[in-house]
Structure 1
Amino acid sequence: MSKMISVIVPTLGNREAELKRLFKSFQEQTNKNFEVILVTQENHDCIDYLKTPELDLHHIKLNKKGLSYARNRALEQIKGSIVTFSDDDCWYPPDSMERVENAFTATCNDIIVFQIYDPISKKYYKEYKDSSNKKVFTRDIFRISSIEFFLKAESLKKAGVFFDEDFGLGTNYPSGEENVFIYDLFKSGLKIQYFPEVIVYHKKPETNSRLTEPQLKSKGPLFKRLFSTPIALILLFLFFLKKRRHINQPFNQLALAIREAFIYKKNGGKLH
């Protein structure tokens, strides 16, 4: 039986060229059994140049910003049996949806993690393993991006997992939401497998780009959200030691991240 895929696309609606490229890639899919849920948080009029009769498109208008908030609102309305999360500057190879459906049909996994590739620079988004892993370990969680994994909607519902709205763009902690989400799924016992196949395109970040203060500040609360405070502090030291060349005033930023770790109180993943 054909498995319908739900693609959730949150956007501020201000990237017209990127959104048109993304939606063009939707129109070119060989497997047409998918829906697109566009969640706009600012420029709702972008729907006017994205509407097309070829797509099963649903539009959610929100007046509150927040990436995790937008994704959670969309999750409440999906119709597909498989769901994924797209950024508005992603785009997809023509056979992506077809290969995703085939992968889920051939396995009994709850979640399948694929690869991201930048066809402009002709480089992979990050370093990937060559062979597929039947099991994803805890150490792999921090390397998984939300745009490269697909999961069964039924498994997600049974696990009762959603995005923690304390994390993600538009919040005080503008990163780490995908780490928290996939870790909560992992802890719930869902079966996760990695497939060494390119499933989505995205521009590769510059290797020498500097980490911003909000990103670094988020690391303290993130590690505390996932682990205990003592482990969070150890991970912070290791993270700053590894990334120190990409951080302005690393000791000051580390102190800020540690302070935020002590301030942050776990909300238990409650929705806002």
Structure 2
Amino acid sequence: MKIEVLISTMNEKSIDCYKRFNLETDALIINQTDHNSYEEININDQKIRMISTDTRGLGLSRNLAILNSKADILVFADDDEVFEEGYKDKILSEFKAYPDADFVIFKTIIYQNGEEIIKVKKDSNLKFYKSLKYGSVHFAFKKEAIRRNNISISTYFGAGTDNGSGEDSLFIRDCFKKGLRLRTSTKLIAKIYNDNSTWFTGYNDKFFFDKGKLSKALFPRAYRLYIEYFLRNHRGKISDIKNARKLMIKGAKEFGGENEK
């Protein structure tokens, strides 16, 4: 099995940007900038490719990377991510140990606002109700499983849109809906330095409005239940639960109308 890291970034001046990711595998860099071009270089046994594009949006970037990928196992990466020594062998060993797995959510350490965030804490088969907390920096998956089931990244949510985050949750939701087999792994593959987040600006009105849209997108029929679940899980960070609920319901209705059946 061959691995390729799919990196989404912006305004890179040179393909030499690959050096900061500590790569041990092939990589495809999608560079959203002001022109369209293609470059590739070979470093030892690694092929590094870069597609520069004047399109915008994280979803577009991820989809372009999947469409142009050339490996069996694809690994999403952001431009603030640094891979661990030995990540290649860790990923290969996990897929070999669990050959029925289509998608593995690996441990990463996220440094954000002075905190160290670790979301993957055990090795197990993943259940849907536990899956929506994981972002794409954890994702490694078999290309064939994704393309065979015509799964893609939402271009309505995520960086580069006006609708907040959530494209990763929708991606996982679609994988479950298509019957893919997902699991978590405590093998550490990367560290992410996320202090310059481009989408999270605090628990303000827009945050809750956008989360309402996402609730409706994720659960067209049961979005109100998900809104209550979300509010309960974040109650320690929300100063006005009643207003947050109102904003989320308003966002859900704008996204999908008022039909709750």
Residue 211 of structure 2 corresponds to residue 219 of structure 1: yes
The match for 2:22 is: 26
Q: Which runs of 5+ in 1 are unaligned?
A: 267-272
User: Could you list the per-position Cα deviations for residues 59-94 of structure 1 after superposition, in whole angstroms to 9, with x for gaps in the alignment?
Assistant: 122222110111111111000000011010011111
Q: CA RMSD in A?
A: 3.2
1:183 to partner: Cα distance: 1.0
Report the AA paired with residue 148 of structure 2: K
Q: 5 Å matches for 1:11-22?
A: 11-13=9-11
Question: Aligned equivalents of 1:212 and 1:175: distance in 2?
Answer: 14
Structure with the larger strand share: 2
Report the AA paired with residue 148 of structure 1: H
1:5 to partner: Cα distance: 1.1
Q: Secondary structure at the match of 2:190?
A: strand
Instruction: Mark the CA change 1:162 to 1:236 in structure 2 (over 3 Å): closer, same or farther.
Output: same
Note if contact 1:111-1:149 (Cα within 8 Å) is conserved in structure 2: yes
Q: 5 Å matches for 1:117-128?
A: 117-118=109-110, 125-128=117-120
1:70 corresponds, among 41, 46, 61, to 61
Residue 110 of structure 2 corresponds to residue 114 of structure 1: no
Note if contact 1:84-1:150 (Cα within 8 Å) is conserved in structure 2: yes
| TM-score relative to the length of structure 1 | 0.79
1:147 corresponds, among 128, 133, 137, to 137
Note if contact 2:163-2:210 (Cα within 8 Å) is conserved in structure 1: yes
Q: 5 Å matches for 1:1-272?
A: 3-13=1-11, 23-27=19-23, 29=24, 34-42=25-33, 53-54=43-44, 55-108=46-99, 109-118=101-110, 125-130=117-122, 132-133=123-124, 135-203=125-193, 210-229=202-221, 231-247=222-238, 250-265=241-256
1:234 to partner: Cα distance: 2.3
Instruction: Mark the CA change 1:107 to 1:90 in structure 2 (over 3 Å): closer, same or farther.
Output: same
Instruction: Mark the CA change 1:97 to 1:44 in structure 2 (over 3 Å): closer, same or farther.
Output: farther
Instruction: Mark the CA change 1:190 to 1:248 in structure 2 (over 3 Å): closer, same or farther.
Output: same
1:192 to partner: Cα distance: 1.0
| TM-score relative to the length of structure 2 | 0.82
Question: Aligned equivalents of 2:216 and 2:113: distance in 1?
Answer: 36
Q: Secondary structure at the match of 1:86?
A: strand
Report which stretch shifted further, 66-75 or 218-227. Answer: 218-227
Instruction: Mark the CA change 1:196 to 1:41 in structure 2 (over 3 Å): closer, same or farther.
Output: same
Report the AA paired with residue 224 of structure 1: K
Question: Aligned equivalents of 1:14 and 1:249: distance in 2?
Answer: 41
Question: Aligned equivalents of 2:117 and 2:195: distance in 1?
Answer: 7
User: Could you list the per-position Cα deviations for residues 187-223 of structure 1 after superposition, in whole angstroms to 9, with x for gaps in the alignment?
Assistant: 11111111121111113779xx833544332211212
Report the AA paired with residue 203 of structure 1: Y
Note if contact 1:168-1:174 (Cα within 8 Å) is conserved in structure 2: yes
Length, aligned pairs only: 249
Instruction: Mark the CA change 1:116 to 1:152 in structure 2 (over 3 Å): closer, same or farther.
Output: same
Report the AA paired with residue 219 of structure 2: F
The match for 1:269 is: none
User: Could you list the per-position Cα deviations for residues 123-151 of structure 1 after superposition, in whole angstroms to 9, with x for gaps in the alignment?
Assistant: 75234433x21x21111111222111210
Q: Secondary structure at the match of 1:105?
A: helix
Structure with the larger helix share: 1
Question: Aligned equivalents of 2:179 and 2:132: distance in 1?
Answer: 17
Q: Which runs of 5+ in 2 are unaligned?
A: none
Query: Could you tell me the percent identity over the aligned residues?
Result: 22
Instruction: Mark the CA change 1:243 to 1:15 in structure 2 (over 3 Å): closer, same or farther.
Output: farther
Note if contact 1:168-1:177 (Cα within 8 Å) is conserved in structure 2: yes
